């Protein structure tokens, strides 16, 4: 399709992207063998060249956090370096905003890296003899930004990552997590729309790693960068990625959202990956959303609502206004009394607040303790408080116990 998932043109588009490492003649033979369908191992054995990335095609949408993952040697770090031409491709194409990278001059490529694409590395890549503020401003210095603007942008970026008061410190005085925050601040200060992140959190201990993931999620909601994030950790990929591309031996194995990959792994390789995933941290309220079995309005006759409650074998119903904002819950006991006395509508005073709500993006692990506590299922509401659906306890249990299907 011409446009992206959200109707806009993709920021990054790769077509049949291939990379072979080896001498000229060996690389050429390796490419020929790859086109004939030879395996990576066979190519290595017969030519001595390494087929790192093989015929990979995908597009990254504006504002998307796109995750590339695979085991060591899968080609993911090579792939991310092909996206800004730190490595020259052996075949295929990479387009940024519709411009083919191999058609850019050296000067145009430098400008692209300085102003359009920033990169965050696994091992921080900080300059030890520069302060934290100077490190955060380094990309702007290369760009030739004025001193005042450079300092202002760097300070803003440090504030975003929680290091606003550490600008005068040096990298040697920081913990690993703090150093990675400086690396992230440097990318933010450069104010590029595209960020490439090569396993940026893999050197951190688990608790700090989760903090950094949470920070990235928050910043992405606020800033809407286009991010390509490399990882070997599927739980991290599932937590962060709008979509996930899985690589094996340099080849694309599956591309989809976390829930899509969990529900229908493409092959045994992917199925082995997802078998150990903590589904409570991957699936969200939206993934298990159901239509409410019964919703009532104040103007309805209690007798009619009571009959619908009986048919649904429920003891309570959400009462909503014309915009589907929840006014409260009405219970069968009151409805029975009201029907017996001939009431013609539901009394607002009969409603109670015996219900709980959540946003659609909330992971299941954060809502499990709130299920089954009320007469009505957990309500999923938007940011205006409108009822989108409900999360029945049985639906959650079914999702967590589901056996993945092979596509």
Task: Considering only residues 2 and 247, tell me which one the structure prediction assigns the higher pLDDT.
Answer: 247
Pick from 191, 194, 247, 213: nearest CA to 75? 247
**How many other CB atoms are there within 10 angstroms of residue 117's CB atom?**
22
* 299 and 274 in a common domain: no
The answer as to whether 220 is a domain residue is yes
* 235 and 340 in a common domain: no
User: Across residues 140-146, what is the average pLDDT?
Assistant: 85
pLDDT at 56 over 80: yes
pLDDT at 279 over 80: yes
The parent domain of residue 192 ranges over 61-88+100-279
* 357 and 218 in a common domain: no
Q: What does residue 92 show for φ and ψ, rounded to 5 degrees?
A: 80, -170
The answer as to whether 216 is a domain residue is yes
Task: Considering only residues 381 and 361, tell me which one the structure prediction assigns the higher pLDDT.
Answer: 381
Task: Considering only residues 21 and 272, tell me which one the structure prediction assigns the higher pLDDT.
Answer: 21
* Range with lowest mean pLDDT among 293-307, 347-361, 385-399: 385-399
Confidence band, pLDDT 50/70/90 cuts, at residue 7: low
* 300 and 160 in a common domain: no
The answer as to whether 335 is a domain residue is yes
pTM to 2 decimals?
0.80
Pick from 97, 74, 73, 93: nearest CA to 85? 93
* Domain final residue, candidates 229, 253, 279: 279
Q: Provide the number of structural domains found in the chain.
A: 2
**Measured CA angle at 162 (ends 158, 167), to 5 deg:** 45
Pick from 151, 211, 225: nearest CA to 181? 211
Burial state string for 256-288 with b = 16 or more CB within 10 A and e = fewer than 16: bebbebbbbbbeeebbebbeebebebbbbbbbb
The answer as to whether 39 is a domain residue is no
* 272 and 291 in a common domain: no
Question: Averaging pLDDT over each range in 1-5, 138-142, 162-166, 370-374, which range is the top one?
Answer: 162-166
Task: Considering only residues 18 and 274, tell me which one the structure prediction assigns the higher pLDDT.
Answer: 18
Confidence band, pLDDT 50/70/90 cuts, at residue 323: very high
* 114 and 252 in a common domain: yes
State the pLDDT at residue 6.
54
pLDDT at 407 over 70: no
State the pLDDT at residue 220.
92
* 366 and 271 in a common domain: no
State the pLDDT at residue 207.
86
CATH number of the domain to which 345 belongs = 3.10.580.10
* 228 and 309 in a common domain: no
* 246 and 113 in a common domain: yes
- Residue 311 structure tokens: 């048919």
Beta strand ranges found along 90-221 (DSSP E): 91-96, 99-100, 117-120, 194-198
* Domain final residue, candidates 279, 305, 327: 279
* 299 and 167 in a common domain: no
Average pLDDT, the chain: 89
- Residue 5 structure tokens: 């998932």
The answer as to whether 267 is a domain residue is yes
CA 187 to mean position of chain CA atoms: 18
Whole-number percent of the chain with pLDDT over 90? 60
CATH number of the domain to which 256 belongs = 3.40.50.300
pLDDT at 275 over 90: no
The answer as to whether 353 is a domain residue is yes
* 235 and 316 in a common domain: no
* 317 and 275 in a common domain: no
CA 290 to mean position of chain CA atoms: 23
The answer as to whether 292 is a domain residue is yes
The answer as to whether 318 is a domain residue is yes
* Domain final residue, candidates 279, 311, 346: 279
């Amino acid at each position: 399709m011409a446009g992206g998932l959200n109707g806009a043109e993709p920021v990054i588009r790769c077509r049949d992207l291939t990379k072979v490492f080896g001498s000229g003649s060996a690389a050429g033979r390796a490419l020929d063998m790859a086109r004939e369908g030879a395996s990576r191992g066979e190519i290595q054995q017969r030519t001595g060249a390494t087929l790192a990335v093989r015929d990979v095609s995908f597009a990254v949408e504006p504002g998307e956090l796109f995750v590339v993952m695979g085991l060591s040697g899968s080609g993911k770090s090579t792939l991310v370096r092909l996206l800004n031409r730190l490595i020259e491709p052996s075949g295929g194409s990479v387009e940024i905003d519709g411009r083919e990278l191999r058609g850019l001059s050296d000067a145009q490529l430098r400008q692209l890296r300085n102003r359009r694409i920033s990169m965050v590395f696994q091992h921080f890549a900080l300059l030890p003899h520069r302060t934290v503020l100077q490190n955060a401003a380094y990309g702007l210095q290369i760009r030739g930004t004025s001193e005042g603007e450079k300092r202002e942008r760097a300070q803003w970026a440090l504030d975003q990552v929680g290091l606003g008061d550490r600008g005068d410190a040096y990298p040697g005085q920081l913990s690993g997590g703090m150093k990675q925050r400086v690396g992230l601040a440097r990318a933010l200060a450069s104010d590029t729309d595209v960020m490439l992140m090569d396993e940026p959190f893999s050197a951190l201990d688990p608790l700090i790693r989760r903090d950094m993931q949470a920070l990235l999620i928050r910043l992405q909601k606020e800033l809407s960068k286009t991010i390509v994030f490399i990882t070997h950790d599927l739980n991290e990929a599932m937590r962060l990625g709008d979509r996930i591309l899985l690589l094996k031996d340099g080849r694309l194995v599956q591309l989809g959202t976390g829930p899509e990959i969990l529900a229908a792994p493409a092959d045994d390789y992917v199925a082995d990956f997802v078998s150990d995933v903590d589904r409570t941290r991957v699936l969200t309220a939206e993934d298990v959303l159901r239509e409410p079995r019964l919703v009532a309005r104040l103007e309805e006759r209690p007798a009619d609502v009571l009959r619908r409650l009986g048919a649904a074998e429920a003891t309570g119903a959400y009462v909503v206004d014309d915009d589907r904002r929840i006014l409260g819950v009405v219970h069968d006991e009151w409805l029975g009394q009201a029907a017996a006395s001939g009431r013609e509508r539901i009394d607002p005073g009969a409603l109670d607040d015996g219900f709980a709500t959540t946003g659609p993006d909330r992971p299941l692990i954060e809502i499990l303790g709130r299920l089954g506590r009320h007469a009505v299922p957990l309500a999923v509401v938007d940011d205006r408080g409108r009822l989108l659906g409900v999360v029945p306890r049985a639906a959650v249990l079914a999702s967590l116990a589901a056996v993945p299907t092979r596509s």
